[in-house]
Chain A
Amino acid sequence: MTQPGDVGDPASTAIAPVAVDRFAGGNSTLLGRIGPLAFCVFWLLLLSIPFVTRNDYIVSLGVSFLINLMLIASLNLLIGYCGQISLGHAGFFGLGAYTAGIVSAKFGINPWAGLPASCIAAALVAVLIGIPVLRLKGHYLAMATLGFNAILSVLFNQLVSLTGGPNGLLGVKPLGFGTYLLDTQARIFPLLWLCAGLVMLGLNNLIKSRVGRALRALAGSELAAESLGVNAFRYKLIVFALTGSIAGLAGCLYIESNLYASPDSFDFSVSILLLAMVALGGWGRYFGAVLGALIYTAAPEILRTLQDAQLLIFGAGMILVLQFFPRGLAGIGDAAVRLWRPSRS
């Protein structure tokens, strides 16, 4: 397994530890230290929502936030870190939702089976789309996912006997442990919290790993990355499948927490909005997904009084943010750090 010149080769590491000690800590910016800690506190506080409030509205906002977070974080991995545009994320979301819903409502199978089923279905479809498309350079993924989303929307609406058509899918069975059913949003909340937490943890690990670096390198210059031995097609395919399966998981949890789904939740306009949230929150920034999900969940509530002007303000805000902070709201942190510690070059 180990070849000459391998990093496992002890000879190559002989001098290094001295050098490493000088830079122990790695991410030494203020934000780099406080960010993760603040996020952990935030995450723990999040779990308390269904226990401290009986207000269904607040719990439902929490549920939406967690689902949106999974969607936006996974899309951010694809767009922000891998440089690939998908216009069909809502399609994978819907595929997961309908797979899980149909498993329990139409086939009468234990609803827990929906969890793996929705992930696997979405990942498989992603691989099927990805194999022909990701070999090509250019915007073929955008085109193919757009088509995929359009096809799925038609199927969700027209395969009435399976999906319930435009009226939506009813009769979804709740998840449960024996007789304790997760049939309210307050009851299913901890499961959502756990799943979203695992997704965020996994993404964090992935981004900081060898694979994550290879992805960022690909987004930077595919040619240079390939010249260093990175198999661009393989990594794009893996990320696309992973992104799809996380969206599938989010779909399964969505239908299990609402016990209902209708086609318009998975329309391609939703895909575009998710893309906008990735950009606004901070593409290629880990906490960008958190900000994006917060805005996606809260903005419609906060801007409700503005009614029709909502979208106008949102569009203008998105333009302004990206003009001043090309990496979105999470990029404000970058700018702050730059002011704090001016580059010495």
Chain B
Amino acid sequence: MGTSGALLEIEALSCRFGGLEAVANLGFSVRAGEIKAIIGPNGAGKTTLFNMIGGVIVPSAGRIRLGGNDIDRLPPYRRAQLGVIRTFQNLGIFSDMTVLENVMVGCHLRSHCGTLQALWRSPRSIAEEAVIRSKSFHLLERVGLVDRAQEAAAALSFGERKLLEMARALAAGPRLLMLDEPAAGVAHDAAVGIAAIIRELNRDGLTVLLVEHNMNMVMNISHSILVLDHGRKIADGTPSEVRKDPAVLAAYLGEGEDA
């Protein structure tokens, strides 16, 4: 474990596209076992930050440490192996596969049978396949999609796909679960359900980092909140601290806070 129980540490992280500085000299940490939210107006650099932590975008400068080890040079699949698992804002579900198969892909990291085992359907691969199936059903049950398991993932509604993506991420056994707008475009009731699931997962010990616009949800479930504006940190603290922060009010919440 890194210093002071921090699971993820970000230091002086920057990302420039041409002349535009999407993220500038950003530093913060995520403590093991907490739910941390990142908020900020559109274009604040939230998704860029997610992409840098996930390894999709290479930072221009700065460091990313997971449990005390540098991960900023690793490709995305290596970070996933270390437990950094994310969902996507624009839905990264595999629409040509069934709901169940989507979650089964999520089990990839926690299973081992390779190509040769698969080709002759070795007893070990059969046994492992059965375990993957039952684990996937279990996870679908947890997010309430078990009845749709055999349907094409493309047949799900937008909100259901968000849940599916969450189940799939959980299948990968994350140490740090990164959710990119899990409740965006989702009906109110569904958003409440998603919030409940996140809180429950956290109670079981999962560390969560989320980007979200739904202020109700963010204020209710987060232990701490990082506020970004134009790629810079303008506040980092508990929901009540952030709510009172004058810089935050000016930049973001001032326009019509509904929390």
**Do they bind each other?**
yes
Residue of A3, A16, A23, A209 near B118 (CB, 8 A) is A209
- The answer to whether B129 touches A210 (Cβ under 8 A) is yes
Q: How far is the CB of B59 from chain A (nearest CB, A)?
A: 17
Task: Encode contact with A along B87-123: 1 for CB under 8 Å, 0 otherwise.
Answer: 0100011111100110011111111111101111100
Q: What residues on B are CB-neighbors of A28 within 8 Å? A: 150
Are A213 and B172 touching (Cβ within 8 A)?
no
Question: In the bound complex, do residue A228 and residue B118 qualify as a contact, i.e. CB atoms below 8 Å apart?
Answer: no
Q: Are B114 and A214 in contact (CB under 8 A)?
A: no
Q: Does A47 count as interface, using CB distance less than 8 angstroms?
A: no
In the complex, how many residue pairs between chain A and chain B have their CB atoms under 8 Å apart?
153
**Cα–Cα distance between A223 and B151 once the two chains are bound (Å):** 23
In the assembled complex, the Cα of A213 lies from the Cα of B109 at a distance in Å of 12
Contact string, A215-233, partner B, CB cutoff 8 A, digits 1/0?
A: 0110111011111111110
Q: Is the interface of B mostly helix, strand, loop or mixed?
A: helix
B239 within 8 A of partner (CB): no
- A203-257 residues with Cβ-Cβ distance < 8 A to B are 205-206, 209-214, 216-217, 219-221, 223-232, 238, 242
* A12 and chain B: residue at smallest CB distance: B135
Tell yes or no: A343 within 8 A of B by CB. yes
Query: Could you tell me the distance in whole angstroms from the C-beta of A252 to the nearest C-beta in chain B?
Result: 19
Nearest-CB residue, chain B, relative to A27: B150
**Which residues of A lie under 8 Å from residue B112 when comparing CB positions?**
1
- Residue B132 CB within 8 A of the other chain: yes
Of the listed residues A7, A209, A232, the one surrounded by the most CB atoms of chain B closer than 10 A to its CB is A7
Q: Name the distance in Å between A90's Cβ and chain B's nearest Cβ.
A: 24
Residues of B within 8 A of A210 (CB): 104, 107-108, 111, 113, 118, 125, 128-129, 132
Closest partner residue, chain B, to A16 (CB atom):
B134
Across the interface, do A8 and B118 meet the contact criterion of CB distance under 8 Å?
A: no
| A residues neighboring B (CB under 8 Å) | 1, 3-8, 12-13, 15-17, 19-20, 23, 26, 28, 202, 205-206, 209-214, 216-217, 219-221, 223-232, 238, 242, 284, 343, 345
B positions within 8 Å CB-CB of A: 54, 56, 75-77, 80-81, 85-86, 88, 92-97, 100-101, 104-115, 117-121, 125, 128-129, 131-135, 137-138, 140-141, 146, 149-152, 155-157, 168-169, 172-173
Q: Lowest 6 A-B CB distances belong to which pairs?
A: A224-B92, A16-B134, A5-B173, A209-B118, A229-B80, A229-B109
- Interchain Cβ contacts under 8 Å between A and B, 23 examples: A4-B173, A19-B137, A19-B138, A19-B141, A26-B150, A209-B113, A209-B129, A210-B128, A212-B118, A216-B96, A217-B97, A224-B88, A224-B93, A225-B105, A226-B80, A227-B76, A228-B105, A228-B106, A228-B172, A229-B109, A230-B108, A343-B152, A345-B157
Instruction: Beyond the given A206-B115, A213-B104, A226-B76, please list 18 additional residue pairs across the A-B interface where CB-CB is below 8 A.
Output: A4-B173, A6-B111, A12-B138, A13-B131, A13-B134, A16-B137, A16-B138, A19-B134, A210-B111, A210-B132, A220-B96, A221-B94, A224-B94, A226-B77, A227-B54, A229-B80, A230-B77, A230-B108
